[in-house]
Structure 1
Amino acid sequence: MVPSDRPGEERVPGPGPLWSEPGTLLEHVAVAVFGFDEDDRICYWGPGAQDLFGHEAAAVLSRPAATLFPDPPRGAPHASRQLAERGRTLGYWRGRLPALRRDGTVFECGFRVFPVTGAKGRSVVMGLASRGDELDRVKTNLAFLDALFETCPIGLVMLDEELRYVHLNQALADMDGLPIEDHIGRRMEEIMIPSDGGEYERMLGAVAAEGRPVVSMLVGLRTSGRPDRDQVRSVSFFPLSQAGDTRPGLGGLLVDVTDREQAIVEAGASRQRLALLDRAAARIGTTLDVNVTARELVEAAVPDFSDASVVEVVEWMDEAEVFNPELPLVTRRIASGTVLPPPATELVSGLESVTYPPGSAIHEMLRTGLPVSVPVNAEFVTRTVMHQARAQLLVDSGLTCLLLAPLVARGTIQGIAMFGRSAARPAFTEQDLSLASELASRAALCLDNARLYSRVQDIALTLQRALLPSALATSPYVQVAHRYLPGSHITEVGGDWYDVIVLPDDRIALVVGDVMGHGVPAAASMGRLRITAKALARHNLEPADLLSELDACAQESGIELATCLYILFDPTTGRARIASAGHPPPLVLHPDGMVETISDVLGVPLGVGGHPFGTTEIDLPDDSILALYTDGLIEARGRDIEEGMNQLRAELRRTSGPLEGEVDRILSSLLPDPPDDDTVLVLARVHRGPRRGRQSDEA
């Protein structure tokens, strides 16, 4: 209170330690301070009184206290007298009375009065007054705040500038697992243990220092009251007003969103698992190669699903063998990968054959047929790893848990897939086991398809090797270099074939053919035509007649489309008789370097029927070279046949050395790697021999 002077009298100091505090509450509730002397006249008048009642100090000092109140009903005591008497007799009184402003407005006012001893021992009744409606509003707000702290399910907290707990509600105490009284006076870091390396505490310090609030920040933490429970909280903090000399600090709201965040994390993990399955479905099984399929499984899993992975196939002694958990299990590791540093790289890739003893975790997994997750501990290492050095590599690798999944397809155990995680990742969950089961099932089916395909390929290759000539017939008049190159891995068994047949009177037959298609059917058809052509050649048939017989054989055998080129060379005359059934034309490299294309031998392919074949006769100079080939040599993606023919003619002109080297050079120049199709190339250098007598010539 600012003491006021009585007109014409000495200045009277204020009565004791009484003052009006500015601040948030008082800024919204004006408080008037005034005093009545022993004669019930106004002797003190503060600024708040002037605002509340509308009188300036000079106009109201020494006037009766009744000036501040409306006239009472007839016969009733005046309110000013009641106020002064209650203050003097009761020592302290509070209540509400109607008050009068200078402009004549009457309003309800809350009063608090009490006696004090002024200067020179005078008795003064001091009064504090505020508008009643403002007091009601503040009372309502305070009641709301009290109820909020008591019943709000959201954690509420007040921290001082050193982040000590000043006030908190029961909801926050329950979150922390500690009573309210155990918080008060302790630093926040003693209760909350965030997992962000101090970032949370630095954020609170910045709010206090800079005054900028933080809204809905997510914090992962544990508390000293619940040290074994991970929590996620959404926190909002704001600086306190620091009004007057109130304590500076922070106010905060904290919401436990652990369940919500866990659900969000699980939903995200589910989406990631589905995305991984989608990628794996597109990636695994792109070829019919066992090793490639295994690598695709590893690449699909590392690093999206695990830090390391290996795929092993079971080495069964025979196809009918079944898994016996009482016997050691031998596997062959065919794919591996890891993103962990050494020695993890050596652990996954430094072994080809693996033996698991009976009772191992692998045996248990294969016995149930279900994936399992196991920790990498002493028990697992002892039961599963036979060699001490390998066991130490596993211990030192950084892997803390493994997921073992069986590769089973069509009731047959194909092998096992292992996925490993380090301590930097969470352990495998039930959802991870389901995902691994899906990955393993798809990979197992692809591996089984590849295995079955490999078996068919082995059969076809065996058949093809048996039907193709292992060594061509030799003649002093024809030097031959030949190559057969299969196409890509998928089409490595085809119907291309060739042969060199030595006939009576030093004649030589050169044959090259191509059956449409691949696999066992094409190889079988090729073998039938080759054997038939060799048998017919020994009957001294003309080339056109031989192709007619082959055509009939193809029709009877159901061979719908095959090409064939047959050349009969007589070294005594240097003449070659040629017939073609839809095959690419032969080329002749003359000794002078000219390349001739024998293009007037066409004919329809074998198996079509109804069309006669013709024979063309040409003269072959001594030391000329015949080039016979299949369409795989001149046809390729992005290159038409004519361009291929031009390249073949150009490469043939460059022929100068031994035929064995030249045939390899031509193939490497013309064919992509790997070839698009099966390819045969036969180079035959011809020489003339001594002429026979007329009788033998006619024969």
Structure 2
Amino acid sequence: MSSPRPGGRPGDEQAPGPLWSEPGTLLEQVAVAVLGIDEDGRICYWGPGAQRLFGHEAPDVLSRPAAVLFPAAPLDGAGAAERLAERGRTLGYWRARVPTLHRDGRVFDCGFRVFPVTGAEGRSVILGLASESAGLDRVKTNLAFLDALFATCPIGLVMLDENLRYVHLNQALADMDGTPIEDHIGRTMAEFMITSDGGEYQRMLRAVADEGRTVVSTLVVLRTPGRPDREQVRSVSFFPLSRAVGSRAGVGGLLVDVTDREQALLEAAAGRQRLALLDRAAARIGTTLDVNVTARELVDAVVPEFCDASVVEVVEWKDEREVFDPESVLLTRRIAAGTCLPPPAPELVGGLERVTYPPGSSIHQALTTGRPVCVPVNADFMTRTVIHQARAQLLVDSGLTSLLIAPLIARGTVQGITMFGRSGGRPDFTEEDLSLAGEIASRAALSLDNARLYSRVQDIALTLQRALLPTAVASGPSVHVAHRYLPGSQATEVGGDWYDVIDLPGGRVALVVGDVMGHGVPAAAAMGRLRITAKALARQNLEPDRLLEELDVCAQDAGIAYATCLYIRYDPPTGLARIANAGHLPPLLRRANGTVESIDEVLGVPLGVGGVPFRTTEIELHDGDTLALYTDGLVEARGVDIDEGMAALRSRLEGMTGTLEETADGILARLLPEAPTDDAVIVLARIRREGLGDVPA
């Protein structure tokens, strides 16, 4: 044996021995003594472990007979030291338990392993490794117990490292997860325990690893990728591994499947999830009066939490009074769809706008009964419900295995259907799921019906408003006019903004702009009434203040509580414009030299108030002057102060360089947001003085 820095030769001072152990290893838990016996039976090597095991320091035993380590030999036989040396040389390796003598006189059992090595100068040395038998028995017992525990224990056992990755687990836990042991190693526990607790389970594990907390018999509801169709309840206990007995830092755990025992807990958890989904759906569906937005909100509320795919379809009735006939073909229009599945599922749900269902389909069944139905995606469903072979193949390839069809019925009217689909990776729909889908569909149907009715009223109001507003305003020799009317966004009802340009006797021209408070059909009807009345009164050549007084009486008779109106009568021969105002925003006048002024000398009360006289003011207009009449929707928007809007309008007028049409478009583009919330009107009138030649328009 080559000599590796011996730790116990004559003259050595506490040098490390040839065998030593790092902290925390098995050798530190079980003392191992290393000693050498030469050819003369004397101790020629004494390691630090030997000193700890036998109690002798190296100087006390080196060069002494090895018999000093054992009780006296029996009278009729060789001593223990002689037997160990002889068996080591003749057998090459021998192990035995031998009574051993401690320096303090205590005798204890010791396990020896002896074998020959070649020492310095070719001399033969018997090297002995010795450990106290009690320590060896304890370690062997513990190891045997742990091996048996991991092999046969019906409770799930796991060791995780500090990053909560699997280091060791038993077959019982692998069976619970439905995934082989080898597929766990190196992956995190979060990958195998799918919970819906908002991350509370992972935070609990992290606290055990980071803060040394202990968790005992905590119940957790979960699913695993290996068993996605089975919801489990586990009783889990976790404790920190703080490098005890050489273990690495991390977490140890025991997991017991108590699903059968805790079925009530599963049902309660599922019930809470359904209620939470219903609450979220109620809050998210119907936030606007837009049919398409409402349908999209329904799909977003259920995918992926409740299902893997969903569509919303409305029935295409030819006549609103038409009643659903289960014996007739049903035509629907798909207005919303969504899925979390990979292709071709997106093409399946989103690749078709109009759908035809033959009589006897599952859709007819749901609409006939008025209750949700659950159907498997099988050959029978394909035959009865799906007409096109290509669509049927897409459905098969999508991975969807079951469909829940819920009718959309509100106020006794069939609005359409919504379908929820699940793939094989989810459990089938239950009776509770049918009830939940019916509740969600019922609420969605009411929102869709409200949106449909609103859209109809909106269409009526918009049609009425367009019929009452001027479609074209002729420019005469004295006034060139550009006008724009922009309705509010689809989410806003039609307003009561109106304007007109009226030719009067004697070559005069009247410019009118007004705004009725409110929205919808009432506002549009009131606007039309005031516009027609104003036009009739203007042609009687009334003074502006007198015209507004008559218009005010008309508003009161019609029950119009609040409306504004600005009336300007321009006389080209004199160049004078007479102006009266009933609570409307003052007109702006851009002079030919580019300066802009506000005509706000007369600001009367709105129409419909009554009891307050109106006044008329007079200004002189010149060639190239431009009057700007507008409504508040142009200069006042949500989040924008009206003074800012007025300043922006003045700026655009001051800098106008193109034609009136270009200026009108530029004003709308500059002042209005992408989705205006109110109607907006702008009327630009450029003055031409009679007999003074044309001014470029």
TM-score with structure 1 setting the length: 0.66
Q: CA–CA distance in 1 between the matches of 2:472 and 2:173? A: 88
Cα displacement (A) at 1:256: 6.0
Q: CA–CA distance in 2 between the matches of 1:393 and 1:415? A: 23
1:468-499 alpha-carbon deviations (Å, 9 max, x no partner): 11122331222111111222334331111000
Q: 1:161 to 1:457 in 2, by over 3 A?
A: same
Question: What is the CA RMSD across the aligned residues, in angstroms?
Answer: 3.5
Matches within 5 A, 1:182-581: 193-199=175-181, 257-581=258-582
Q: 1:534 to 1:257 in 2, by over 3 A?
A: same
Q: CA–CA distance in 2 between the matches of 1:657 and 1:221? A: 69
Cα displacement (A) at 1:445: 0.2
The amino acid across from 2:495 in the alignment is G
Q: 1:366 to 1:511 in 2, by over 3 A?
A: same
Cα displacement (A) at 1:265: 2.8
Cα displacement (A) at 1:195: 3.4
Cα displacement (A) at 1:163: 6.7
Q: CA–CA distance in 1 between the matches of 2:184 and 2:466? A: 77
Q: CA–CA distance in 2 between the matches of 1:357 and 1:435? A: 27
Q: CA–CA distance in 2 between the matches of 1:221 and 1:159? A: 28
Q: 1:634 to 1:253 in 2, by over 3 A?
A: closer
1:377-423 alpha-carbon deviations (Å, 9 max, x no partner): 12111211111111111111111111110001111110000111111
The amino acid across from 1:407 in the alignment is L
- Contact kept? 1:401, 1:422, Cα under 8 Å: yes
Q: CA–CA distance in 1 between the matches of 2:546 and 2:533? A: 13
1:537-575 alpha-carbon deviations (Å, 9 max, x no partner): 111111111111101111111111111111111222221
The amino acid across from 1:418 in the alignment is M
Q: Which residue does the alignment assign to 1:636?
A: 637
The amino acid across from 1:444 in the alignment is A
Cα displacement (A) at 1:639: 2.9
1:332-390 alpha-carbon deviations (Å, 9 max, x no partner): 00001111111111111111100001111111111111111111112111211111111
- Contact kept? 2:174, 2:181, Cα under 8 Å: no
Q: CA–CA distance in 1 between the matches of 2:278 and 2:174? A: 39
The amino acid across from 1:198 in the alignment is P
State the secondary structure of the residue aligned to 1:317: coil
Cα displacement (A) at 1:196: 3.7
1:445-479 alpha-carbon deviations (Å, 9 max, x no partner): 00011111111112211211111111223312221
Q: CA–CA distance in 2 between the matches of 1:652 and 1:237? A: 75
Q: CA–CA distance in 1 between the matches of 2:360 and 2:315? A: 17
Q: CA–CA distance in 2 between the matches of 1:448 and 1:659? A: 44
1:426-458 alpha-carbon deviations (Å, 9 max, x no partner): 111111111111110010000011111111112
Q: CA–CA distance in 2 between the matches of 1:669 and 1:465? A: 24
Q: Which residue does the alignment assign to 2:676?
A: 675
Q: 1:289 to 1:255 in 2, by over 3 A?
A: closer
Q: 1:237 to 1:295 in 2, by over 3 A?
A: closer
Q: Radius of gyration: which is bigger?
A: 1
Cα displacement (A) at 1:255: 6.5
State the secondary structure of the residue aligned to 1:545: helix
- Contact kept? 1:508, 1:570, Cα under 8 Å: yes
- Contact kept? 2:588, 2:627, Cα under 8 Å: yes
Q: 1:234 to 1:539 in 2, by over 3 A?
A: closer
Q: 1:652 to 1:255 in 2, by over 3 A?
A: closer
Q: Which residue does the alignment assign to 1:618?
A: 619
Q: CA–CA distance in 1 between the matches of 2:533 and 2:231? A: 81
Q: Which residue does the alignment assign to 1:98?
A: none
The amino acid across from 2:469 in the alignment is L
Q: Which residue does the alignment assign to 1:104?
A: none
Q: CA–CA distance in 2 between the matches of 1:465 and 1:657? A: 28
Cα displacement (A) at 1:669: 1.1
Q: CA–CA distance in 2 between the matches of 1:219 and 1:468? A: 64
Structure 1 runs not aligned, ≥5 long: 1-8, 13-45, 47-157, 173-187, 204-212, 223-227, 239-251, 692-699
- Contact kept? 1:196, 1:220, Cα under 8 Å: no
Cα displacement (A) at 1:269: 2.0
- Contact kept? 2:316, 2:331, Cα under 8 Å: yes
Q: CA–CA distance in 2 between the matches of 1:352 and 1:221? A: 36
The amino acid across from 2:179 in the alignment is G
The amino acid across from 2:281 in the alignment is A
- Contact kept? 2:474, 2:481, Cα under 8 Å: no
Q: CA–CA distance in 2 between the matches of 1:684 and 1:237? A: 82
Q: Which residue does the alignment assign to 1:109?
A: none
Cα displacement (A) at 1:520: 1.2
The amino acid across from 1:197 in the alignment is T
Q: 1:191 to 1:509 in 2, by over 3 A?
A: closer
Cα displacement (A) at 1:234: 5.7
Q: CA–CA distance in 1 between the matches of 2:173 and 2:580? A: 98
State the secondary structure of the residue aligned to 1:401: strand
Q: CA–CA distance in 1 between the matches of 2:264 and 2:172? A: 29
The amino acid across from 1:617 in the alignment is E
1:617-662 alpha-carbon deviations (Å, 9 max, x no partner): 1111112111000112222223332222211111111111121121
Q: CA–CA distance in 1 between the matches of 2:496 and 2:510? A: 20
Cα displacement (A) at 1:667: 1.4
Q: Which moved more, 1:457-466 or 1:533-542?
A: 457-466
Q: Which residue does the alignment assign to 1:56?
A: none
Q: Which residue does the alignment assign to 1:609?
A: 610
Q: CA–CA distance in 2 between the matches of 1:234 and 1:544? A: 86
Q: CA–CA distance in 2 between the matches of 1:339 and 1:680? A: 46
Q: 1:264 to 1:538 in 2, by over 3 A?
A: same
1:229-260 alpha-carbon deviations (Å, 9 max, x no partner): 9987769999xxxxxxxxxxxxx999762223
1:97-149 alpha-carbon deviations (Å, 9 max, x no partner): xxxxxxxxxxxxxxxxxxxxxxxxxxxxxxxxxxxxxxxxxxxxxxxxxxxxx
Q: Which residue does the alignment assign to 1:656?
A: 657
Q: Which moved more, 1:425-434 or 1:255-264?
A: 255-264
Q: CA–CA distance in 1 between the matches of 2:289 and 2:583? A: 33
- Contact kept? 1:486, 1:494, Cα under 8 Å: yes
Cα displacement (A) at 1:672: 1.8
Cα displacement (A) at 1:301: 0.7
Q: 1:665 to 1:316 in 2, by over 3 A?
A: same
Q: CA–CA distance in 1 between the matches of 2:455 and 2:234? A: 57
Matches within 5 A, 1:69-218: 161=148, 193-199=175-181
Question: Number of residue pairs matched?
Answer: 498
Q: CA–CA distance in 2 between the matches of 1:347 and 1:528? A: 52
State the secondary structure of the residue aligned to 2:457: helix
Q: 1:229 to 1:403 in 2, by over 3 A?
A: closer
